[in-house]
Structures are given as C-alpha cells and as structure tokens.
C-alpha cells in the first residue's frame, strides 16, 4: 500500500469517527435518563479522541 492510499484510508477513518461523534452528540441532547446520558458522553469523548488520532495519522502521511 502506498502513502497516497494510506492517506485516503486515514481520511475515511476520520470521516467515520466524526460521524460517530456526531451521532452521540445528537442523542446526548435528547436522552433524559442521566445514567444513559453519562454513558453516551463517555463514548462520545472516546470518539473525540479517535478523531484526534485519525488527524495525527493523516499528518504522519502528509
């Protein structure tokens, strides 16, 4: 796999991670149960970390 293909793959990963974070953001605003809300917030924060990782990976191959 060449660098250009790797860069493309990492950009796709970034897009997936951003969609996941947006998904959790959307439901965090709607869920009323506090325990479920906390769980969604934790997962959303993990997705935010995945976004940072994906951006770093893109940087490495740019």
Question: Which residues would be at the binding site for Fe ion (CB under 5 A)?
Answer: 17, 47, 50
For CA atoms 44, 45, 50, 55, the dihedral sign is positive
Q: Report in angstroms how near the CB of residue 21 gets to Fe ion at its nearest.
A: 8
Q: Report in angstroms how near the CB of residue 46 gets to Fe ion at its nearest.
A: 7
Token code pair at residue 48: 């935010």
Which residue's Cβ lies closest to Fe ion? 50
N-terminal to C-terminal alpha carbon distance within the chain: 15
Q: Report in angstroms how near the CB of residue 32 gets to Fe ion at its nearest.
A: 25
Q: Name the residue nearer to Fe ion (CB basis): 33 or 39.
A: 39
Q: Are 49 and 20 in contact (CB under 8 A)?
A: no
């Amino acid at each position: 796999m060449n660098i250009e293909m790797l860069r493309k793959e990492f950009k796709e990963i970034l897009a997936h991670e951003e969609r996941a974070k947006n998904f959790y953001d959307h439901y965090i605003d709607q869920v009323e149960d506090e325990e479920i809300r906390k769980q969604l917030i934790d997962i959303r924060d993990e997705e935010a970390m995945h976004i940072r990782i994906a951006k770093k990976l893109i940087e490495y191959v740019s």
